Amino acid sequence: MTIRHMTTRHALVTGGSSGIGLAIARRLKDDGLRVTIAGRKEQALIESGFDYVVMDVTEEGQVDAAFAGIDPVDIVVSNAGQAKTAPLLKTPLSLWQEMLAVNLTGAFLCAKAGIPAMIERGWGRFIVIASTSALKGYAYTGAYTSSKHGVLGLVRTLAIELAKTGVTANAVCPGFTETELLSRSIDKIVATTKLDREQARAALLADNPMQRAIAPAEVAGAVGWLVTAAADATNGQPVVIDGGELAG
């Protein structure tokens, strides 16, 4: 069931041309919102069929220009992100900085650019697509996990600072999700171990009691709920979609 909004809201979804971002864009459109997507690769943005703006979330000037170049947004879904792995003590500074720049600084810049107009109008949603890595450590993902822990800190701080403005901030935290990112992770395991693809996939999903990857549409469903009036009092929360992984 979709929820039609009496007043059409405008949502911006970063990293919106594929995977979780595209699923979110489609869900919000189906629910009656205006949707603009953002990303670095214009051809992919064009092929999505959505209104779009080209933007690298790590570049403050590009983020500010992108927000200034579109109608004011009521909802920002900060979805753009990357995941690269290495043992923490063997992680080069360049990889560490890249994970922080894309996953954490990108969310920070989108918050700074998008939230002030929401405050002026007295309503808004800032939603970051984080990860179970925001709540749990994983081996060989030190830079990525640190960036996602930082995202949750960002959201919790915003929630407190914005509590009386009508704007909320939350993080959606999925486990391994059926995207190209998961496929690349499986490829890396196959390339560096003696496991085949089926075994590598099983290893990644071993901690999920349901023993399956999360569907992008399931992540989009959480975002769809967070933008409704039913979620008005949900603020500063990690909304976990993990098949029960963190329950144990």
Active site residues: 144
Cα torsion angle, 96, 98, 99, 101, sign:
positive
* CA–CA dist 14, 58 (Å, integer): 12
* CA–CA dist 18, 11 (Å, integer): 16
Distances (CA, A) of 222 to 19, 30, 182: 15, 14, 20
The string of DSSP codes covering 91-113 is --HHHHHHHIIIIIIHHHHHHHH
* CA–CA dist 112, 223 (Å, integer): 20
DSSP 245: G
- Helix or strand run (H / E) with residue 28: helix 19-30
